[in-house]
């Protein structure tokens, strides 16, 4: 931690580690360890949610000497092996939030995957076919899990970690037709009930780096593909 008592957080999302092992993040994790106090990964750690991919990421994470906090993303669910992937990641020292807050050096990290549903007056409502109602129910459930986690926070410094976006502003740049699948305003509504210092998410590879919730909480799209002020795949934030 630096002299001002601030925690430097390196945040990135959408690493999409593949089975072929062609892309290594060892050098990036080593670099991050030298400039930050905590590494946050906001989902899509793997490309297809396969244990082999998680093993490769776990091996790369050996070069990271600071705490690692993460949430899973939709890609991590693709192969139906979430438990295996989670076990491998936690075995490598990754703190998977999944509705359980954690505190590091006085700062709280609270996270869930989040879900789709759309934004503002275009948000999907629970009406019509059972499939639509099930989708809305999933979105509501993720927001409720986030709320329950935030209620357990005692620190006055809290970062919310999501995969799906809580606002439309940070998905701008993506085709408007897919906005409903990139996140949900329900997440922002939950966040704005609490004192949150920063929110990070991924998922929208073609989105925009920075935005705010309706009540002013700063939101950062830290997908590796999104341009950031430091010119790196990861952002550096102070908490």
**1 lies in some domain:** no
* pLDDT band (50, 70, 90) for residue 3: very low
pLDDT at 132 exceeding the cut of 80: yes
- Number of domains observed in the structure of the chain: 1
**107 lies in some domain:** yes
CA atoms of 5 and 85, how far apart (whole Å): 34
Phi, psi of 78 (to 5 degrees): -55, -45
Cβ contacts of 86 within 8 Å, gap of 6 or more: 72, 96, 98
**3 lies in some domain:** no
**197 lies in some domain:** yes
**2 lies in some domain:** no
CA atoms of 197 and 79, how far apart (whole Å): 34
Please give the residue range of the domain that contains residue 99.
8-238
CA atoms of 35 and 88, how far apart (whole Å): 26
Axis crossing angle, helix 51-60 with helix 82-91, rounded to the nearest 10: 20
Residue showing tokens 């957080």: 9
Q: What is the mean pLDDT of residues 46-50?
A: 98
Can you list the positions of beta strands (E) in 33-89? Answer: 38-42, 68-71
Q: What is the mean pLDDT of residues 135-153?
A: 96
pLDDT at 91 exceeding the cut of 70: yes
* pLDDT band (50, 70, 90) for residue 5: confident
Q: For 184-210, how does the pLDDT look when each residue is reduced to its tens digit (9 = 90+)? A: 999 999 999 999 999 999 999 999 999
Q: What is the mean pLDDT of residues 154-162?
A: 95
pLDDT at 151 exceeding the cut of 80: yes
**192 lies in some domain:** yes
CA atoms of 6 and 38, how far apart (whole Å): 11
Phi, psi of 86 (to 5 degrees): -65, -40
pLDDT at 1 exceeding the cut of 80: no
The vertex-120 CA angle with 117 and 124, nearest 5°, equals 30
**110 lies in some domain:** yes
Q: What is the pLDDT of residue 21?
A: 86
pLDDT at 80 exceeding the cut of 70: yes
Find the CATH number of the domain harbouring 207. Answer: 3.60.21.10
Pick from 4-8, 61-65, 104-108: least confident: 4-8
**103 lies in some domain:** yes
The vertex-197 CA angle with 170 and 208, nearest 5°, equals 15
Q: What is the pLDDT of residue 123?
A: 92
CA atoms of 35 and 81, how far apart (whole Å): 33
Pick from 15-19, 154-158, 160-164: least confident: 154-158
Closest CA relative to residue 191, chosen from 146, 152, 155: 146
Q: What is the mean pLDDT of residues 137-145?
A: 96
Q: For 214-232, how does the pLDDT look when each residue is reduced to its tens digit (9 = 90+)? A: 999 999 999 999 999 999 9
Question: pTM of the entire structure?
Answer: 0.95
* pLDDT band (50, 70, 90) for residue 2: very low
Average pLDDT, the chain: 96
Closest CA relative to residue 49, chosen from 113, 138, 117, 136: 113
Q: What is the pLDDT of residue 200?
A: 98
């Amino acid at each position: 931690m630096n002299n001002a008592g601030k925690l430097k957080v390196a945040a990135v999302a959408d690493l999409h580690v593949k089975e072929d092992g062609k892309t290594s993040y060892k050098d990036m994790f080593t670099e991050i360890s030298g400039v930050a106090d905590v590494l946050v990964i906001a989902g899509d750690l793997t490309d297809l949610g396969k244990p082999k991919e998680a093993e490769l990421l776990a091996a790369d994470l050996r070069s990271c000497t600071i705490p690692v906090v993460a949430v899973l993303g939709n890609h991590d669910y693709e192969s139906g092996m979430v438990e295996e992937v989670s076990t491998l990641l936690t075995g490598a020292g990754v703190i998977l939030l999944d509705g359980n807050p954690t505190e590091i050096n006085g700062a709280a990290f609270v996270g869930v995957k989040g879900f789709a549903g759309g934004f503002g007056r275009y948000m999907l409502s629970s009406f019509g076919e059972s499939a639509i109602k099930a989708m809305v129910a999933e979105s509501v459930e993720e927001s409720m899990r986030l709320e329950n986690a935030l209620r357990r926070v005692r620190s006055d410094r809290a970062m919310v970690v999501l995969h799906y976006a809580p606002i439309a502003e940070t998905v701008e740049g993506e085709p408007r037709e897919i906005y409903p699948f990139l996140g949900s305003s329900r997440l922002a509504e939950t966040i704005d009930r609490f004192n949150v210092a920063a929110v990070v998410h991924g998922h929208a590879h073609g989105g925009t780096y920075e935005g705010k919730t309706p009540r002013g909480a700063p939101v950062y799209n830290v997908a590796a593909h999104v341009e950031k002020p430091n010119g790196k795949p990861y952002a550096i934030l102070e908490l």
